[in-house]
Amino acid sequence: MNLLQPVYCLFGKHHRSRGRAWGDGSVYRSWCKGCGKPMIRDLHGWHLDLQPPGEKKP
Ligand SMILES: [Zn+2]
């Protein structure tokens, strides 16, 4: 456990939890190990997934 990670989160430097990512078709999803928010990986790398799962529109 990294006790400093929540501090990094305050500055927008989120880090996904290793080993907990899973593929979702064309993208990978995981959680931030500091604040537990959902993250998504796309062409720009890992960042917070601002669109909650289950509410995506086709
Ligand atoms: Zn975070």
Element (H, E) at 39: strand 38-42
pTM of the model: 0.69
Strands 38-42 vs 45-48: parallel, antiparallel or unpaired: antiparallel
- Residue 6 alpha carbon to ligand 1 centre in Å: 6
Give residue-wise pLDDT tens across range 1-58: 568 989 999 999 999 987 778 887 878 899 999 999 999 988 888 889 887 656 666 6
- Residue 58 alpha carbon to ligand 1 centre in Å: 27
- Residue 14 alpha carbon to ligand 1 centre in Å: 4
Residues lining ion ligand 1 (Cβ < 5 A) are 9, 14, 32, 34-35
- Residue 26 alpha carbon to ligand 1 centre in Å: 23
- Asked if residue 53 lies in contact with residue 43, where contact means CB atoms within 8 angstroms, the answer is no
